[in-house]
Chain A
Amino acid sequence: MVVPILQQRVRYLFSELGELAHIAGEAIRSLRHQRPSWRDFVEQLHFIGVKSQSVVITTGAATGMVLCAQTYFQFHKVKMDTATGAVVSVGMCSELGPVLACLMIAGRVGAAMAAELGTMKVTEQIDALRTLATHPVDYLVVPRLLAATVAAPLLTAEAVAVGIFASWMVGAHLLGIDSAYYVANMNRYTAPADVVTGLIKATLFGAAIAVISCYKGLSCQQGAEGVGKATTEAVVYSSITVLVANFFLTLFLTRLFKG
């Protein structure tokens, strides 16, 4: 009873992964053969980047503040107050910044992409595109993929910067940590590798979110229900991908940068 269901699940998982790889490959092929439309790219960049500002800033600030407060409460017991800044900064740069910012992007942007493409699919607009001698990947996926890949690291960098600033405000002004030591320790323990790790992660997450969400939209089933399902799955799969990939990227990139 359990085995066939499990088999079916595994087969489904692999077929989904195959389709994803196919779309990603097609997008790369498209990029090699033709110049993507600058206008569509900028439009997507505006949608993904500019319109995510409030979400990303709030996420960054809230995370930085709470991380600072919690670290301080624990470190205060062993009189290591001034190390708080270092913990916050390393944590934000390499883990929390990229993961949380990209989870927010997956929720906001992934859902919108899947819903838009899914609606186009069920109203035959994707078919119309194909009859007009246009590959859906060229016209729809490539601009979104490029925009998400560019926007995700920028938004992450912004979330991290805001988070660190917010943590300094909380640490130095609210909790009474010595500001100079706070900053000095932060600079001393945060390596360039931490920052680069975070940005590499965010770039990959951005690409993954775009590919997954576009795939879910393009393979949407009939009707309003199909669009709803595609949207939900896009967000769930993107988020899980971000979380799982983060773990492996941490292992891999740490090896790479720190020997």
Chain B
Amino acid sequence: MIEVRDLWKGFGPQPVLRGTCLRIEKGEAVVIIGRSGGGKSVLLKHLIALLQPDRGQVLVEGQDLCCLDERQLLQVRRKFGMLFQMAALFDSLTVYENVSFVLQRERRHTEAQMRKLVAEALEMVELRGIEGKKPGELSGGMRKRVGLARAIIYRPEILLYDEPTTGLDPVAGARIDQLIHRVWEQLHVTSIAVTHDMASARRISKRILMLNEGVIYADGPSADILSSTDPVVHNFVNGIVPADSQSFA
């Protein structure tokens, strides 16, 4: 269970989150939508305590993350897997070393077991036989899928995906959506994704939260949000530019 209470965060003079509140139950599949630059990535990073709030609380299973120091946070973070918007692979390590990173650090598996687990994880994201490559030799979409393999291999309980399908072709995108759905269904994880892609949101979520002006503006079952008649939600979901504001504000 994840709960965010009155979360405020700004960078310099610019406020990004302005009193965001949300609650996600264990085992839910949630998508967060919102405008580019609206603070979705920032919100996601607060859930795993990569950023510290200016004000407010983030609770993971009742534990307030703001009271923990970096070492205590490591224990909490072990429950999480995160796919970064830019994949954030370790570029001095090979794909194999990237994907097996947590396993290598935990030293609970033999080399042979790790090879097998990595091969399976790469198989899941439809990348075979690229273990020896460096991230620099991969395309953007491939990197993202390696990032996904790295996040799911150690079986976290909560998965955070920051735009898992942007930069992929439609077919690969749909496959990743299927994978996210399958991971949610079979491994009983809590799945929290950020996306701009409404088709993808429909496929991977049961519930959609819309972040607007730094607060959760709309929250409800996916179907309701996607067919909402609220002008802000409707315009966003259908990509309509309101007649009175043609510029990005």
Q: Which residues of A contact B (CB under 8 A)?
A: 26, 116, 120, 123-125, 127-135, 139
Q: How far is the CB of B197 from chain A (nearest CB, A)?
A: 21
Q: Please name the residue on chain B nearest to A26 by beta carbon.
A: B70
* Chain A nearest CB, measured from B87 CB (Å): 8
- Whether a CB of chain A sits under 8 angstroms from the CB of B101 is yes
The secondary-structure label for the interface of chain A is: helix
A127 adjacent to B102 (CB under 8 Å)? no
Selected from A26, A124, A133, A134, the residue in CB contact (under 8 A) with B86 is A124
B45: Cβ under 8 A from any A Cβ = yes
Q: Do B102 and A124 have beta carbons less than 8 Å apart?
A: no
Closest residue of B by beta carbon distance from A136: B70
Known: A128-B89, A133-B74. 6 other contacts (CB 8 A): A125-B89, A125-B91, A131-B80, A131-B151, A134-B105, A139-B105
Contact A128-B84, Cβ < 8 Å, known A123-B91, A133-B102, A134-B105: yes
Q: Are B101 and A132 in contact (CB under 8 A)?
A: yes
Q: How far is the CA of A131 from the CA of B74 in the complex (A)?
A: 8
* B88: chain A residues within 8 A (beta carbon): 123-125, 127-128
B75: nearest chain-A partner, CB-CB? A133
Chain B residues 135-176 with CB under 8 Å of chain A are: 150-151
In the bound assembly, the distance between CA atoms of A134 and B90 in angstroms comes to 13
Per the CB 8 Å criterion, the residue count for chain B at the interface is 25
Check B45 against A127 for contact (C-beta < 8 Å). yes
A251 CB, min distance to chain B CBs, angstroms: 37
**CB-defined contacts of A131 to chain B, threshold 8 Å:** 48, 50, 77, 80-82, 151
**Interchain residue pairs with CB less than 8 A apart (15):** A116-B92, A123-B88, A124-B84, A124-B86, A124-B88, A128-B82, A128-B84, A129-B90, A131-B50, A131-B77, A131-B81, A131-B82, A132-B77, A133-B77, A135-B71
Any chain A CB within 8 A of the CB of B23? no
Distance of A112 from chain B, by nearest CB (Å): 12
Residues of B within 8 A of A116 (CB): 92
Residues in A with CB closer than 8 Å to B84 are 124, 127-128
**Quick check: is B5 within 8 A (CB to CB) of the other chain?**
no
In the bound assembly, the distance between CA atoms of A100 and B96 in angstroms comes to 41
From A26, A127, A131, residue with most partner B Cβ within 10 Å: A131
Chain A residues closer than 8 Å to B92, beta-carbon distance: 116
Bound Cα distance A213, B216 (Å): 41
Q: How far is the CB of A132 from chain B (nearest CB, A)?
A: 5
Expressed in whole angstroms, the Cα–Cα distance for A128 and B151 within the complex equals: 10
